[in-house]
Amino acid sequence: MHMLLPRLIFACTVSIFIGPLPAQTQSVMQQAPLEQVVRTAADKSTLAAPGRAPFHLKATISDEKAHDPQWNATVEEWWQSPTVYRREFHSAEFAQTLLVVGGQVEEYDSRGAMRPAMLDSGASDTLVFPELLRNLATELVTPVPRYDQLAALHQTMLPPDGQPGQRVATWEIPGSNGTVHKAIQASVAVSRETGLFTYGGDLDWDVALHDFADFHGQQIARRLTAQAGQGPTLTARVTLLEDLGMQIGRFHVKQPTPLRQQLHVVVVKEGTMRQSLVHTVTPQWPAGTRAGAIVMRVVVDRTGQVRSVDDFYSDDPTAQPAAEAAVLQWRFQPTLDHGAPVQVISTVTLPLP
């Protein structure tokens, strides 16, 4: 998703050399593909990767500034391999138990206050995994889940060189209604000194990593933060990280969940989403709104209803409440992936009067 986190851009330290660089330094300073540099860095802090030590993790998530209880959540994961793992997530609005064993998936989702029940084709299609919480639940074990997005940028970055500062790359996530254009700003950063991935994101992921500590040779962040622009800053804290041990029965699939009943999340370009629009509401802009455009990230549930709006970039910030109130009433045709309805992340761009 975006680098909606610290969208601050940290300046890289510039060293001045007199005379030619040593051959070894010249080699280190050669540009490399952005995704390669970030992958090399993030792999040092990734729990859920092939060949890594099986683990059991517990974490809490909260809004440590405003203390809004809707963002309180717990995550527990038992991970044996990339194809065998179990995750249990609980928050005020949404709960999920996800078990993956080879090609089989058993999934239970519910509203947070209810006892989890198997998804069906009825009202449960309106269940939404809140995006900021979904991000952190994933990034606790996989800080960078989408290298393909970075590769598509065709950017390069200097690898870490042991000096103070960070290597930073920035880009734009474009939004357009076909007439006006506006972009969400994104970035990633790698520590020059430690070689660790420190923050970054795109439209469907974002994270900043803090408080690294060793686990089987990996430097694992014990504190992670995520923020949607002008929204809450959430903090995930690892409260337990240990070897998996014996988990008899933990990975037994009793009743596989059909694909139609699983909750999957996909990113869809705004132009494609607009082709499936079935209902829009025109914002009631406040008096004196400056001309220009506003773009925002939206989450659409499996019925096609817009469920959340955040990460605003606007030529007039006072227009944000009107844009949010209107777009939350928009409806799309359900988006299908392999014939099953999915939760969608996209952008909506609007002209300002």
3-state secondary structure 97-127: EEEEECCEEEEEEECCCCCCEECCCCHHHHC
Give the pLDDT mean for 54-70: 95
Confidence of residue 6 (pLDDT cuts 50, 70, 90): very low
CATH class of the domain defined by 264-352? alpha beta
pLDDT digits (tens, 9 = 90+) for 154-201: 999 999 999 999 999 999 999 999 999 999 999 999 999 999 999 999
Tokens 């949010």, located at residue = 324
d(CA 297, CA 93): 20
Tokens representing 209 are 């990593």
What percentage of the chain reaches a pLDDT higher than 70? 89
The pLDDT of residue 253 is 95
Residue 24 has pLDDT above 80, yes or no: no
Tokens representing 97 are 């138990």
Region of poorest pLDDT, from 118-127, 128-137, 216-225, 252-261: 118-127
The pLDDT of residue 228 is 76
pLDDT digits (tens, 9 = 90+) for 83-139: 999 999 999 999 999 999 999 999 999 997 544 444 444 567 899 999 999 999 999
pLDDT digits (tens, 9 = 90+) for 231-243: 789 999 999 999 9
Give the pLDDT mean for 313-321: 96
The pLDDT of residue 112 is 77
Residue 256 has pLDDT above 90, yes or no: yes
Residue 5 has pLDDT above 80, yes or no: no
d(CA 189, CA 10): 8
The pLDDT of residue 123 is 61
Tell me whether residue 87 is exposed, middle or buried, using C-beta atoms within 10 angstroms of its C-beta: 0 to 12, 13 to 18, 19 or more.
Answer: buried
Give the pLDDT mean for 142-163: 97
The pLDDT of residue 322 is 97
Q: Whose CA is closest to 143, among 199, 190, 101?
A: 199
pLDDT: which is higher, 193 or 8: 193
CATH for 23-243 is 2.50.20
Instruction: Quote the DSSP letter at residue 29.
Output: T
Please check whether the two domains, 23-243 and 264-352, share a CATH topology: no
d(CA 88, CA 117): 13
DSSP string, 237-297: EEEEEEE----TTTT--SSPPPGGGS--EEE--HHHHHTTEEE-----PPTTPPSEEEEEE
Residue 352, H or E segment: strand 343-352
Q: What value does the mean pLDDT of the chain take?
A: 90
Q: Whose CA is closest to 60, among 37, 23, 89?
A: 89
Q: How far is CA 166 from the centre of its chain?
A: 21
Domain residue ranges in the chain: 23-243, 264-352
Residue 28 has pLDDT above 60, yes or no: no
Residue 27 has pLDDT above 60, yes or no: no
